[in-house]
Amino acid sequence: MARFSFGRRKRRTQDQPAASALGHSRKQRRGRRAWYVCCDFFGAFGGLFFYMFFIRPVMGVLDARDWHATPCTIISSDVGVHDDDDGVTYSVDITYRYEVSGRSFTSSRYSFATGSSSGRAGKQKIVDAHRPGSQALCYVDPSDPQQAVLNRKMTGGIWLAGGLSAIFPAIGIGGIVGVAYAQHRRNRRSRALAQHADNRTRADDALAAFLPDYEPRQAHEPATLSPTGKRIGGVIAIFVFAAFWNGIVSIFANEVVQSHRSGNPQWFLTIFLIPFLLVGIAVVGFFFYALLGLLNPRPVLMLQSRAVELGDFLDIRWQVRGNARRMRHMAIELRGGEEGTYRRGPDSVTEKQTVAVIPVMDSSDPITMSDGSASAPIPQTAMHSLQLSNNRIIWSLHVTGSIPRFPDVKDEYTITVLPRGGGGRRW
Amino acid sequence: MVTITPANDRREYVPGDEIRGEVAWQLHERPETLNVHLAFVTAGRGSTDGAIVATHTIADPGISGDEAFSFRAPVGPYSFSGTLISLTWAIEAEAQGADATAREEIIIAPAGEPLQLHPVDDA
Amino acid sequence: MIAPKHNPFRAQQLDAIAYRPIGVTWEQIDARLAALRCRAAIRGPHGSGKTTLIDALHHRLAAQGLRIVRVHLQRDTPPPTRSELAALTATLGPGDVLMYDGADHLPMLRWRQLRRATREIASFIVTTHRRRLLPTLVRTRTTPALLRHLVAELLADRARSDIAARCDTLFTEHRGNLRDALRACYHLASSPRRQAAKR
């Protein structure tokens, strides 16, 4: 009988080499794929806007360096007023006549900037300088005399439009590059671990039966544990989602508002849109909440080693980056717990139970909270870490800090507790 | 029939101990091989996990016979019993091709007794 | 406190529960499978015995000398890629049976690919919660009486009338999901027996 299971780890026997590659769960791959899709969306549409509002005008400016300066007569000039749903914007509307090789042409292009923008005063100034009947100098494309422009330089409008429209493709490309780089680092680490596999000792092989991801060299290196990267990443992720969600919802919301303003309300769409609007508001609120979290003081833990044997001490040093006085209270605990996953067909459910809580520090004194060290005793009678497909014993450091009126600090870092004689520090 | 008899009837070991014993068999048909495994298995809330960490193979064992075996108790995992998970070590014998097995549970733990993990309130 | 390995409701015991047809016999199931040309779906809500039934059919078909290929797709993992499915179906022949547990988690294109690739094999049986992927072989369902029966079987000779008395409540609480109801019994069994309700 042949069995296939997409996503399940195989039962390991003595003959199989120790698994040294980091596991990329399918859930992580699915998350990456969804992230790529979002980034592609941002990249594609943002790129289109960036091309229209910046790239194309810049190409026009560069081409126009070779155009011929030609005298022209202003026929009409005015500030165009455009009143739409986004508000009132203005444009420079100048029409002029010029001659090339005895033929007369007219053009209404002032500069290579596209669209209209706010700010009437600057445009009025330009219009006042080009009164109807006055003479001016325009620039004509020698290969196509129908193409002409009055101002062939880069204008503030082009820079502004370019800056604004660059945000979305930047998010898209940045997101893709970020995930790809993180993936590249994970792959590099996997290859490095695979190369070290041959150097494993007999004790390491014995550990591989129940700690397949344990890498002795790495586990015994000093480690600095900080939530910063995770927090920033979380805020960016929430921002991207909020922008994406509210961007789409706003299109329909605008339609609903217009329908009500015009006296012909679309009630079905209004009611249908309410839950989406509520989610959008909640996500924006959550974004600001997460942003506040970035301003929090950040407890950073420094460990001599992320792996420790039963009966040994885990040496921990902590420092709070930022203003520790904002924390009313801080605690660090070492917790051990059981985790059991029951898989039946396509379904799985995981249950957890804490079996050990070892206080490391617990203080309301700002000096103690801002900088200190402690040694946490790992009881000799406790159970070491266990990492099987469905059954695990997990040890982790929990850092909690209460901050009035701001999100509390709640960070968690996994460590490895080894059996006695399971891998003392060799490096 | 296959039987496993630990030496001195001893079933409690600490990591590093020598696990000695004898396997005896009396079968109806000739097996291809007879394997004696040192293995652990989990039971409880989660689906089963297990691994064979050592094997003593008896090639061409014949219809009946007996042979001594010896393993070194590994550094882990320890035998333990919690709220959600029990981990049990055993010496298992299987006669391949003769459909006969035997199993003898043992304990591998620092104190020679399974560790007991008690629930702690998470609050 | 009872050790997990002795808990009558541990995962290993739940996995060993045999399927009990309700309102239909095994002969009727076999006949219907043959009538559907061995291409059928087992439909039913969560925890109603779909995987248990597919386990039973596995043994019955294996006893006929057929080679069984079992696949299950975990709900929290991405579905197989096109090439992974192609690699799977490339191993199947006319005398083989493919049992796909969780087929409704497959995207439509992957499902079509699988359906096309299994036209020539002996039997193709899937489990699904709702989607009509293939004609229905059995629609699994549960009853409070079935839960009481299974609890009694798992408890065997253990005198735990407190757990038995809670069966109907558990059935209602878990809306007929027997897997969750039986899992809830795990913690009841691991605690010391409760005293009978005050008279």
* Domains of chain C and any CATH numbers: 4-17+142-190 (no CATH), 42-139 (3.40.50.300)
User: In angstroms, rounded to a whole number, what is the distance separating the alpha carbons of residues A339 and A392?
Assistant: 5
Computed from CA positions of residues A179, A184, A185, A187, in that sequence, does the dihedral angle turn out positive or negative? positive
- Identify whether A251 is part of a domain: yes
pLDDT digits (tens, 9 = 90+) for C53-98: 999 999 999 998 899 999 988 777 788 888 989 999 999 999 899 9
Please report whether residue A168 resides in a domain. no
Give the dihedral of Cα atoms A375, A378, A384, A385; nearest 10 deg.
Answer: -30
* CATH code for position A385: 2.60.40.1930
A368 lies in some domain: yes
Q: How far apart are CA B19 and CA A182, in angstroms?
A: 46
> In chain B, count of helices (H) and strands (E)?
0, 10
pLDDT of residue A321: 84
C130 pLDDT exceeds 90?
no
| CA–CA separation, A425 and A414 (whole Å) | 18
Q: How confident is the model at residue B123 (pLDDT cuts 50, 70, 90)?
A: low
- Per-residue confidence band for A9, with pLDDT thresholds at 50, 70 and 90: very low
pLDDT (mean) for A419-427: 64
Same domain assignment for residues A303 and A244:
yes
> Does A223 share its domain with A366?
yes
> 3-state class of C143 per DSSP?
coil
pLDDT at C25 over 80: yes
Structural domain contains residue A186: no
Tell me how far apart the alpha carbons of residues B117 and B115 are, in angstroms, rounded to a whole number.
6
Percent of chain A, pLDDT > 70? 80
Looking at the complex, does the CB of residue B8 fall below 8 Å from at least one CB of chain A? no
Instruction: Give the pLDDT confidence score for residue A14 in this predicted structure.
Output: 33
What pLDDT does A229 receive?
62
**Do residues A105 and A228 share a domain?**
no
Which of A15, A353, A380, A412 to substitute to test the interface with B, most B CBs within 10 Å? A353
**pLDDT class of A182 with cuts at 50, 70, 90:** low
A→C contacts (Cβ < 8 Å), by residue, are: 1-8, 25-27, 29-30, 33, 340, 342-349
Structure tokens at A316: 């921990």
Q: What's the pLDDT at C145? A: 94
A392 and A266 co-located in one domain: yes
Q: Which residues pair with A393 in a beta bridge?
A: A338, A386
* pLDDT tens per residue across span A249-290: 888 888 888 888 888 888 888 888 888 889 999 999 988 888
Say if A23 falls within a structural domain. no
The answer to whether residue A189 scores a pLDDT higher than 90 is: no
Average pLDDT over residues B18-45: 94
In this structure, the answer to whether residues A216 and A360 fall within a common structural domain is yes
C155 backbone φψ class: left, alpha, beta (φ>0; ψ -120 to 50): alpha
Is pLDDT above 50 for A200? no
Identify the domain boundary among A151, A178, A213: A151
Mean pLDDT calculated for residue range C137-150: 94
Contacts 24+ apart (CB under 8 A), A161-166: A161/A53, A161/A54, A161/A57, A161/A113, A161/A114, A161/A115, A161/A117, A162/A50, A162/A53, A162/A54, A162/A57, A162/A58, A164/A53, A165/A46, A165/A49, A165/A50, A165/A52, A165/A53, A165/A54, A166/A46, A166/A50, A166/A54
C184 φ, ψ (degrees, to nearest 5): -65, -30
**Taking chain B, what is the end-to-end CA distance rounded to the nearest angstrom?**
53
- Helix H, strand E, coil C: the string for chain A is CEEEEECCCCCCECCCCCCCCCCCCHHHHHHHHHHHHHHHHHHHHHHHHHHHHHHHHHHHHHHHHHCEEEEEEEEEEEEEEEEECCEEEEEEEEEEEEEECCEEEEECCCCCCCCCECCHHHHHHHHHCCCCCCEEEEEECCCCCCCEECCCCCCHHHHHHHHHHCHHHHHHHHHHHHHHHHHHHHHHHHHHHHHHHHHCCHHHHHHHCCCCCCCHHHHCCCEEECCHHHHHHHHHHHHHHHHHHHHHHHHHHHHHHHHHHCCCCCHHHHHHHHHHHHHHHHHHHHHHHHHHHHCCCEEEEEECCCEEECCCEEEEEEEEECCHHHCCEEEEEEEEEEEEEEEECCEEEEEEEEEEEEEEEEECCHHHHHEEEEEEECCCCCCCCEECCCEEEEEEEEEEEECCCCCCEEEEEEEEEECCCCCCCCC
φ/ψ of A105, rounded to 5, equals: -130, 155
A110 and A220 part of one domain: no
Looking at per-residue pLDDT, the higher value among A410 and A183 belongs to A410
> Tell me: the pLDDT tens digits for C1-15?
789 999 999 999 999
User: How many Å apart are CA C197 and CA C199, to the nearest integer?
Assistant: 6
When pLDDT is cut at 50, 70 and 90, the band that residue A247 belongs to is: confident
- pLDDT at residue C133 tops 70: yes
User: Is ipTM > 0.90 here?
Assistant: yes
Q: How confident is the model at residue A151 (pLDDT cuts 50, 70, 90)?
A: very high
* pLDDT grade for A191, boundaries at 50, 70 and 90: low
Q: In which band, very low, low, confident or very high, does the pLDDT at A22 lie, cut at 50, 70 and 90?
A: very low
The mean per-residue pLDDT over the stretch B40-55 comes to: 95
Minimum distance, in Å, between the CA of residue C142 and any CA atom of chain A: 17
B115 lies within 8 A of chain C by CB: no
**Quick one: average pLDDT of B29-53?**
94
A209 plus A128 within the same structural domain: no
Distances (CA, A) of A184 to A2, A178, A180, A191, B52: 34, 10, 6, 11, 34
Look at residue A35 and tell me if it is in a domain: no
Q: Which residue of A has its CA nearest to C80?
A: A6
* Confidence bin at A404 (pLDDT 50/70/90): confident
Please answer whether residues C28 and C139 qualify as being in contact, where contact means their C-beta atoms are separated by less than 8 angstroms.
no
Contacts of B41 (CB under 8 A, 6+ apart): B48, B49, B50, B87, B88, B90
Residues A309 and A404 in one domain: yes
Spatial separation of the C-alpha atoms in residues C147 and C9, rounded to whole Å: 13
**CB spacing of A207 vs B117 below 8 angstroms:** no
Instruction: Locate the chain B residue with the closest alpha carbon to A393.
Output: B85
What integer is the mean pLDDT of A121-131?
91
Instruction: Tell me, yes or no, whether A417 and A339 share the same domain.
Output: yes
Q: Give the model confidence (pLDDT) of C28-48 as tens digits.
A: 999 999 999 999 999 999 999
A interface residues, B as partner, C-beta within 8 Å: 11-14, 203, 206-207, 209-210, 310, 338-344, 350-357, 380-384, 386, 388-391, 393, 418-422
Global pTM reads 0.69
More confident residue, A299 or A6: A299
Using CA atoms, how far residue A148 sits from A117, A245, B70, in Å, is: 22, 42, 95
Report which listed range, A111-120, A416-425, B34-43, B114-123, is most confident: B34-43
Model pLDDT for residues A24-49, shown as the tens digit of each residue: 445 555 566 666 666 666 666 677 77
Residue A255 located in a structural domain: yes
Q: What confidence score (pLDDT) does residue A185 get?
A: 62
Are A346 and C105 inside 8 Å of each other by CB? yes
Mutate to test the interface with B, among C2, C12, C188 (most CBs of B within 10 A): C12
Contact yes or no for A402/A328 (Cβ under 8 A): yes
Same domain, A109 and A226: no
C-alpha closest to that of B29 among B61, B7, B3: B61
Pair A298, A376 in one domain: yes
- Of the pLDDT bands very low, low, confident and very high (cuts 50, 70, 90), residue A4 is low
Q: How confident is the model at residue A204 (pLDDT cuts 50, 70, 90)?
A: low
Q: Are residues A371 and A281 in the same domain?
A: yes
Q: In chain B, which residue's Cα lies nearest the Cα of C4?
A: B44
For chain B, which domains are there?
A: 2-114 (2.60.40.640)
Nearest CB neighbour to B75, from listed A386, A391, A421: A421
Query: Looking at this protein, which amino acid is placed at residue A6?
Result: F
Q: Do A14 and B78 touch (CB under 8 A)?
A: no
Domain assignment present for A2: no
Range C20-31 average pLDDT: 91
pLDDT digits (tens, 9 = 90+) for C163-187: 989 999 999 999 999 999 999 999 9
Provide the residue range defining the domain that includes A95: 68-151
Bridge partners (DSSP) listed for residue A284:
none
How confident is residue A184, by pLDDT bands cut at 50, 70 and 90? low
pLDDT 10s digits, B92-108: 999 988 889 999 999 99
Question: How many beta-carbon pairs below 8 A join chains A and C?
Answer: 76
Q: What's the pLDDT score for residue A169?
A: 73
Total number of domains constituting chain A? 2
Residue B50 predicted with pLDDT over 60: yes
Amino acid at the residue A107: S
